[in-house]
Amino acid sequence: MGNQKKYDELRQSHPRMVYKSYSYSITSEGLRLAFEFEIDAETVFRPVAVVENRSFLDFAKPKELMDALVFNIGMIELISYWKSFCPPTVEVVCGQLDACAIDFWRKTYWHGLGEFFYTNNIATTSSTFMTIVAPTPDGAAKPLACNLGQGYIVPIGGGKDSVVTLEALAHEGRPLPLIMNPRGATIGCTAAAGYTLDEVAVIRRTIDPLLLQLNAAGCLNGHTPFSAMLAFYTLLVAACSGRANIALSNESSANEATVPGTEVNHQYSKSLEFEDDFRRYVATHIAPQFNYFSFLRPLSELQIAMLFARHERYHDVFRSCNAGSKTDSWCGHCAKCLFAFIILSPFLPPQRLATIFGHNLLDDESLRHDFDQLTGRAEVKPFECVGTVSEVNSALSMTLDRWYAHTARPALLRHYDAQPPTTPLTTLLPNHNLDSHQIGLLKQCIEKNS
């Protein structure tokens, strides 16, 4: 419990964090956003982000709308800096928040930091970890007007999920891909889809170097809700591109807790609960014209893998490995790599998967612990964006039946007790925010693959 003591001491010595300012300006690069968060006189964070110039982006939007969008981006950015000292009070001096807005932010921070508290062995509660103080607006929240068309924005992460969304929406007025901090896989996937980088919305976000110095010096560190941060940036791109629909690629398995029996979920900001909260908050506190939803919510990871398997031109460029992200590679030694290998294994031959990942990961005994976590033999799932235990076991059962019924099993499957698959491949789950037309598009994709 060493970090509990550190947490308590840091909160006592750093009792307040102030969200001092946000600003935005049009530069030669694009729309530049800047924020200032202060812990004390010596600890002031000034992160910056740039939405790059593109012919399809108009940054000259009404000031009231731009202020609301950028202010709220700052509200989600601040949590990355708060976690270094975990001050008990956050004071917002550059904007107003009503009680409902404060409730939204405290819930988003609390669940978004669930993994951070868990992995740092910090015991705290949702009622005591943070108090948010801000000027209160006069009267009820007044959402703004925003003139948007019916086009789609699809954030691209470089993995299989966003590829499936982009392909499914390819005939809906050619969706606009959005990339934050481009890297090999994100650029490769959009190129494989037929886009040049000039046809992609690009956000370049930088972390204040002071945070990295504090991490190295021993301040608290850990996971923050990246997808919630991305959500607020997508609103800005939607407003500037005139597109109402922001189609995420978060599947149903994002709703499952990482630590069974708790609310600790590595993927909380990808969950339907967050999506619903976010949609309500945006509609009442920013503008109701935005339509943020996950296009893949009715699908399982197994269904997404089935759909992705038929898009062969992406197979050599997609990546989902955090460890290999800087080198645009699959490390081949982590739970994320093993999960991607397993979930695709019923649909691609072992030899083809071995070529993609560098070797047959199911034949790698060094991945035994990750295998046990993914299949439910360990108490806790990996703290990664991976599917449910049921999906993993269904995939392995299908793989054994298809590829290893008459040949020797690979190392991780030699003593694996397969059960009949429990994840259907043709059924759409009912809880989502898609309209009937979008559901029809998904059904067409599934039927083509059946």
- Reduce the DSSP state of residue 180 to 3 states and report it: strand
Quick check: is 10 in a domain?
yes
Q: Answer yes or no: is pLDDT of 1 > 70.
A: no
**Token pair belonging to 34:** 């800047």
Calculate the CA 88 to chain-centre distance. 26
Domain end residue (candidates: 253, 275, 294): 294
Please give the model's pTM, rounded to 2 decimal places: 0.95
pLDDT in tens, 317-329: 999 998 888 899 9
* Average of per-residue pLDDT values in the chain: 95
Domain check: are 53 and 152 in the same one?
yes
Domain check: are 279 and 395 in the same one?
no
For the residues 8-35, what does the mean pLDDT come to? 97
How many angstroms separate the CA atoms of 417 and 410, rounded? 13
Quick check: is 176 in a domain?
yes
Calculate the CA 360 to chain-centre distance. 28
pLDDT at 369: 96
How many angstroms separate the CA atoms of 38 and 224, rounded? 19
Quick check: is 372 in a domain?
yes
Domain check: are 84 and 190 in the same one?
yes
Domain end residue (candidates: 275, 294, 313): 294
Quick check: is 402 in a domain?
yes
Domain check: are 345 and 283 in the same one?
no
Domain check: are 265 and 387 in the same one?
no
Question: Looking at beta carbons, which pairs linking 262-265 to residues 24 or more positions away fall under 8 Å?
Answer: 262/114, 262/118, 263/111, 263/114, 264/114, 264/115, 264/117, 264/118, 265/111, 265/114, 265/115
Domain that holds residue 404: 321-427
pLDDT at 423: 79
Quick check: is 281 in a domain?
yes
Domain check: are 271 and 342 in the same one?
no
pLDDT at 352: 97
Structural domains in the chain (count):
2
Domain check: are 380 and 334 in the same one?
yes
Per-residue pLDDT band at 2 (split at 50, 70, 90): low
Q: Taking a C-beta distance cutoff of 8 angstroms, is the pair 299, 428 a contact?
A: yes
Domain end residue (candidates: 278, 294, 310): 294
Domain check: are 259 and 376 in the same one?
no
For the residues 86-100, what does the mean pLDDT come to? 97
pLDDT at 175: 98
Quick check: is 432 in a domain?
no
Domain check: are 329 and 286 in the same one?
no
For the residues 36-52, what does the mean pLDDT come to? 97
Domain check: are 117 and 15 in the same one?
yes
Q: Answer yes or no: is pLDDT of 40 > 80.
A: yes
- Where are the extended beta strands (E) located within 161-228? 176-180, 201-206
How many angstroms separate the CA atoms of 98 and 162, rounded? 35
How many angstroms separate the CA atoms of 102 and 195, rounded? 40
More confident residue, 2 or 160: 160
Q: Answer yes or no: is pLDDT of 117 > 80.
A: yes
pLDDT in tens, 249-301: 998 888 988 998 899 999 999 999 999 999 999 999 999 999 999 999 999 99
Question: Looking at beta carbons, which pairs linking 214-218 to residues 24 or more positions away fall under 8 Å?
Answer: 214/43, 214/84, 215/84, 218/6
Quick check: is 446 in a domain?
no
For the residues 357-382, what does the mean pLDDT come to? 94
Quick check: is 445 in a domain?
no
Domain check: are 122 and 221 in the same one?
yes
Domain check: are 290 and 325 in the same one?
no
pLDDT at 6: 95
